[in-house]
Amino acid sequence: MPTLTITEASCADDYDPNSMPVAKARAFIHQFLSPVTGVLRVPVRSALGRVLAEDLLTPFDVPSHRNSAMDGWAVRATDLAAEGESNLREVGASFAGKPFSGAMGRGECVRIMTGGVVPEGADTVVMQERAKANGKAVAIASGAKLGQNVREAGEDMKAGSVALKRGRIVRPAELGLVASLGIGEVAVYRPLRVAFFSTGDELKSVGTALGEGEIYDSNRYTIHGMLTRLGCEVLDMGVVRDDPELLERAFETAASNADVVITSGGVSVGEADFVKSMLGKLGEVVFWKIAMKPGRPLAYGRISGAHFFGLPGNPVSVMVTFYQFVRDALLVLMGAHPVEAAPTFGATCTSRLKKAPGRTEFQRGILGRAPDGTLTVRPTGEQGSGILKSMSEANCFIILGDATGNVEAGTRVEVQLLEGIV
């Protein structure tokens, strides 16, 4: 644990005494994060989405033998004339998995297929499009370079080298890579256990009738989805009323059953006070007004050894604060290394955006292409922090930095994709 205690986290900032810049809050949280220590050995396929807890070494050279990158003929470069065709005699064939067993002499060639072992005596593969065969007589066009189309043993990875580092998140490519090394089981970090609940007297769970002024609890569903996508083990604790005793009990249960506790609602100015005093008894928690929109109020701290993220109640704010603060933090706790924020890139905004300087805004956008191929982005429409449809329609965030004011149509803005392809 760092020496800095959570209570030293000040809301003070050069800009506005009540406003914590996004990057500062993120950096503050990160000093308290260290990965889970539990490790499991699992069959390769079950490692999908988990984090490797060991360096995986290559047990042999990859590829393990010199082989052809093309269908064609294996030849000796010195047998080929500098100009015109060279006539060689085919003495056998080397297919993938069925090598040529003899040795190849001067003036000879071997029919070879992609992946076939390059025979002794051959040093070059001429692709079939550059040769004409007439029975065993093969006429090879000039222009082949020594070593062409030959994949050397160990060219991809040398025996004993690190194929995959500890901390790597296993994706389909890693499953294949591990299998290509003949490794059937890998060590991964145990899943992170995350308990969460919603707070608010107005909230009803799906399946019950709504009374006057009541709404359905949607945050528990988005949080469930976001956590499950990350590969966390989730513990959904339902809705907890705005009642200090019930809340205290819920926090205690959550913290003693999980590595991380996430709540939504109850951290805004009007509601935070009793949550604050209660959490003061159970642990150390800071409440911030982050200089961002949506998602201004946010709490972070430790409760009985568990990490605590108190997210705002508004449905869009929950998702934005999760993606901008909680996601990266959970990845670190899951053992992932390095953890980088989802990348951002530039796009031309096709409409005017209203924006006040002094805070970072995460507007919801839809990426497209102008007729000339330029990447464009437009907002999803109304950007209220309660309009969950704006998240559903969006495929990216439009990130407008602290210093930015209104954005005119045609301006380049930073965007961040919500979905990746793997």
User: Could you identify the residue written with the tokens 């009541």?
Assistant: 214
- Cα 54 from chain centre: 19
Cβ proximity of 52 and 163 under 8 Å: no
Cβ proximity of 186 and 51 under 8 Å: no
Instruction: Fill in the per-residue mask, 218 to 257: x = in contact with ligand AMP (CB under 6 A), - = not in contact.
Output: xx--------------------------------------
Of residues 67, 124, 148, 264, which one binds ligand AMP by CB under 6 A? 264
Query: Which of residues 72 and 313 has its CB atom nearest to ligand AMP in the complex?
Result: 313
Which of ligand AMP, Mg ion, none does residue 218 bind (CB under 5 to 8 Å by kind)?
A: ligand AMP
Query: Which of residues 116 and 200 has its CB atom nearest to Mg ion in the complex?
Result: 200
- Cα 334 from chain centre: 12
Distance, CA of 27 to CA of 25 (rounded, Å): 5
Question: Is residue 404 close enough to count as binding ligand AMP by CB under 6 A?
Answer: no
Query: Which of residues 264 and 363 has its CB atom nearest to Mg ion in the complex?
Result: 264
Q: How far is the CB of 402 from ligand AMP (least distance, A)?
A: 23
Q: How far is the CB of 266 from ligand AMP (least distance, A)?
A: 5
User: Could you identify the residue written with the tokens 């972070």?
Assistant: 300
Question: Is residue 259 close enough to count as binding ligand AMP by CB under 6 A?
Answer: no
Q: What is the DSSP letter of 354?
A: -
User: Could you identify the residue written with the tokens 């070059």?
Assistant: 124
Q: Is the peptide bond before 312 cis (omega within 30 degrees of 0)?
A: no
**What tokens appear for 410 in the block?**
């045609």
- Return the SS3 of 111: strand
Cα separations in angstroms, 273 against 16, 269, 302: 21, 7, 17
Cβ proximity of 275 and 246 under 8 Å: no
Question: Is residue 72 close enough to count as binding ligand AMP by CB under 6 A?
Answer: no
Which of Mg ion, ligand AMP, none does residue 264 bind (CB under 5 to 8 Å by kind)?
A: ligand AMP
- Cα 367 from chain centre: 20
Kindly give, in sequence order, each residue whose CB lies less than 8 Å from that of residue 8, ignoring residues fewer than 6 positions away: none
**What tokens appear for 381 in the block?**
């429409």
User: Could you identify the residue written with the tokens 């009323």?
Assistant: 241
Query: Which of residues 126 and 388 has its CB atom nearest to Mg ion in the complex?
Result: 388
Query: Which of residues 202 and 236 has its CB atom nearest to ligand AMP in the complex?
Result: 202
**Which residues, 175 to 204, sit near ligand AMP by CB under 6 A?**
198, 200, 202-203
Of residues 99, 266, 294, 335, which one binds ligand AMP by CB under 6 A? 266
Of residues 16, 61, 233, 271, which one binds ligand AMP by CB under 6 A? 271
Closest CA to 311 of 198, 227, 226: 198
Query: Which of residues 90 and 271 has its CB atom nearest to ligand AMP in the complex?
Result: 271
Q: How far is the CB of 262 from ligand AMP (least distance, A)?
A: 12
Q: How far is the CB of 381 from ligand AMP (least distance, A)?
A: 20
- Interface segment toward ligand AMP; rule CB under 6 A; list 25-33, 36-44, 105-113, 306-314: 306-314
Question: Is residue 268 close enough to count as binding ligand AMP by CB under 6 A?
Answer: yes
Please, which residues bridge with residue 421 across strands? none
User: Could you identify the residue written with the tokens 């949550």?
Assistant: 275
Give me the residues that bind Mg ion (CB under 5 A), please: 200, 265, 313
Of residues 217, 259, 328, 361, which one binds ligand AMP by CB under 6 A? 217
Q: Which residues bind ligand AMP (CB under 6 A)?
A: 198, 200, 202-203, 215, 217-219, 264-266, 268, 271, 312-315
